[in-house]
Amino acid sequence: MSRLAAIKLWLFYTVCLSLLGALLLPASAAAQEESKPTNVLLVYDSLGVDTPAAGNVEALQQLLLSFGMAVKTLASDDYKPEMAADYEKLITVCNTEDLCDSTKHGAELYTEKDQLHIGYNPSDLLRGKLALQTETRTRQSLKLSVDGLSQDNVFVSRLDFIAEGKGETYGRMTSTDGTINGPFAIKAGGYAYVPYFEPGNMSEVAITYVLRAWLGIEAADTPTQAYLLIRGVTPFIDLNRLEGLSKQLYEAGIPFLVSVSPLFSNTDYPAMKRYLAALQTVQSYNGSVLVNVPAPTSMGQDASILKEQMDGFLNDLAEVGIAPLGMTGEMKRAQEKSGREAGFAFSDTTILFPNETAFMQEQLEAVQPFTSSPYSMRGEELLQVNRADKIWPAFPVDLAITFDWFESEAKQEEAVHSIAGSWLPFADFKSGEHSLSSSSHKAESLQGALLLDGKLVDLQDQSNPTEEALQVKAPVQKESFHLLFSVQNRVLIVLIVTTLMLFVVFLTVGYRLYKKKYYKSGGSL
């Protein structure tokens, strides 16, 4: 081939590649545009503190993030009509009947977007779209049911229930005296109404069905899983009992996760080595490790310091073969931008927990969802739910069914028995794609395999790691002090004995001299 022909051929390939890149660029941009999460505006009248509704706004935030939505939450007093332009969907929550007016007014102005109202006094717009008629009852004991699941004796002090409406209905609410008999929720097009939602009972399960349909998430597109999660694993619990629990769950064929608290200081002490050895045992019994981000302190915390501390602990885990697959933390951490970037920066797999105290961070922008964020629900509450068949229906959202660390062995045995007999369909967290990266290591899971820095983790080598950890010698400094004190004790004993012996000798000699003196002087003793 001549030089000129080669140049022509090179130019031809260059032009073709340029044209191909120009064609693919808009497609890539469009794909990125499609992958953006839906923006949801959540407006509430009050947090319902010290009422049964307390925590429902926070639970809605968690659910929306679990469904992959970006959510901005604000009080109704801060809502302005022009805000609607930036959001595809609006959720209004009325927890206090006397404070609903501003919430209703905001919904009336939001006429062109999908709306969901929860609680008292749905807007006139929503009533018209759903042909909705409601009635009010007080002091009722309800039975809530949806998709073969039900719970009896749910007490409500006041309730607006759906008497009539047109649209698709979800679940059922009936009272023991027969005065309430209506759907749990109703939806038509982009409009939906849920008259009652309080976390901690069957309504928390039922609302997931309504949200999934209203958000337009097809069940076939995203099959869901349920995971067993043990919370509150710290260096200060009974680590032998943690290892025993891991073995029990493994022998029962139940995969599980543990949320472990990080340790930021004294990491070279034997207690830290014992903690890591226990976590190795957890991992060897098919347990997956998640690292808990500490809750913000009242004094605040520098984000860069937190990130550095978390990174150090994650490296400590990796260096002994432990491959954590994600993070956990209270909802307030996700709301707080600096705290989120510091605590959750290592993984896009995160399970959020309800805040321990009522808290609502002022949000300047929407909270973005994580790639994977199962919704956490307390196991004790879910096990109160009755079901028509042994087999549970598929949940509308990925669930992390949580149990706090058990205070006693008896409670642990009771919980394991309940879990094993519940027929809950627990999945192995490692079957999904999760990854976590620290400054020095990367842990990931893929189709059931656990990888650390690209290498398969051999769980069998960690089946009994505690023996080595328990052989850790006491620090040299402590041994030297012990030896020093031992030598000092012996020296003191020798000195005391020697002193006593000398005292006896001096006493004897003195007595004899004194006796001779009296004999020479003619005295008597």
**Those residues with Cβ within 8 angstroms of residue 226's Cβ, 6 or more apart along the chain or in another chain:** 392, 395, 398, 399, 400, 401, 424, 425, 426, 427
> For residue 521, what pLDDT is reported?
58
Nearest to 238 by CA among 355, 354, 429, 411: 411
For 418, counting Cβ atoms within 10 Å of its Cβ (0-12 exposed, 13-18 middle, 19+ buried), the class is middle
Same domain, 360 and 382: yes
What SS3 class is residue 344? coil
**DSSP for 357-372, written as a single string:** S------SSPBPPPSB
Show which of 393, 423, 456 is a domain's final residue: 456
| Domain presence at residue 369 | yes
What's the domain range around 435? 226-456
Q: How far apart are CA 56 and CA 214, in angstroms?
A: 18
| Token pair recorded at residue 56 | 């429902």
The residue type found at 14 is: T
Same domain, 250 and 350: yes
**Those residues with Cβ within 8 angstroms of residue 427's Cβ, 6 or more apart along the chain or in another chain:** 225, 226, 227, 255
Instruction: Find the CATH number of the domain harbouring 196.
Output: 3.40.50.880
Quick one: angle between helices 270-284 and 303-319, nearest 10? 70
Q: How far apart are CA 479 and CA 421, in angstroms?
A: 51
Same domain, 29 and 53: no
Question: N- to C-terminal Cα distance for the chain?
Answer: 139
> For residue 259, what pLDDT is reported?
98
> For residue 89, what pLDDT is reported?
93
| Domain presence at residue 50 | yes
| Token pair recorded at residue 498 | 């020697």
Same domain, 23 and 110: no
pTM: 0.81
Q: Are 212 and 219 in contact (CB under 8 A)?
A: yes
Element holding 278 (H helix, E strand): helix 270-284
Same domain, 61 and 186: yes
| Domain presence at residue 480 | no
Show which of 431, 456, 481 is a domain's final residue: 456
DSSP symbol at 406? P
Beta-bridge mates of residue 401: 228, 377
Same domain, 27 and 48: no
Q: How far apart are CA 239 and CA 253, in angstroms?
A: 21
Same domain, 263 and 207: no
In whole angstroms, what separates CA 431 from the centre of its chain?
A: 19
**Those residues with Cβ within 8 angstroms of residue 383's Cβ, 6 or more apart along the chain or in another chain:** 418, 422
The list of the chain residues with pLDDT below 70 reads 1-35, 102-109, 111, 219-222, 297-301, 358-364, 461-489, 491, 494, 497, 511, 514-525
> For residue 335, what pLDDT is reported?
82
Same domain, 165 and 235: no
- Give me the phi and psi of 156, to 5 degrees please: -130, 140
> For residue 159, what pLDDT is reported?
92
- Give me the phi and psi of 2, to 5 degrees please: -75, 160
SS (H, E, C) 98-147: HHCHHHHHHHHCCCCCEEEEEECCCCHHHHHHHCCEEEEEEEEEEEEEEC
How far, CA to CA in Å, does 92 sit from each of 73, 79, 117, 118, 183? Answer: 10, 11, 5, 6, 19
Instruction: Look at strands 375-378 and 350-353 and give their pairing.
Output: unpaired
- Give me the phi and psi of 389, to 5 degrees please: -120, 165
Q: How far apart are CA 493 and CA 394, in angstroms?
A: 77
| Domain presence at residue 324 | yes
| Domain presence at residue 523 | no
Q: What digits encode the pLDDT tens for the residues 186-215? A: 999 999 999 999 999 999 999 999 999 999
> For residue 275, what pLDDT is reported?
96
| Domain presence at residue 471 | no
Nearest to 429 by CA among 328, 314, 299: 328
| Domain presence at residue 86 | yes
Number of domains within the chain: 3
Same domain, 28 and 44: no
Show which of 215, 240, 270 is a domain's final residue: 215
Same domain, 268 and 402: yes
Q: Are 156 and 140 in contact (CB under 8 A)?
A: yes
Same domain, 100 and 8: no
> For residue 483, what pLDDT is reported?
44
Q: Are 307 and 438 in contact (CB under 8 A)?
A: no
Q: In this structure, which long-range contacts are made by residues 356-359, counting pairs with CB atoms below 8 Å and at least 24 apart in sequence?
A: 356/295, 356/330, 358/47, 358/49, 358/54, 358/55, 359/331, 359/332
Beta-bridge mates of residue 230: 258, 403
Same domain, 51 and 31: no
| Domain presence at residue 48 | yes
> For residue 463, what pLDDT is reported?
55
DSSP symbol at 389? S
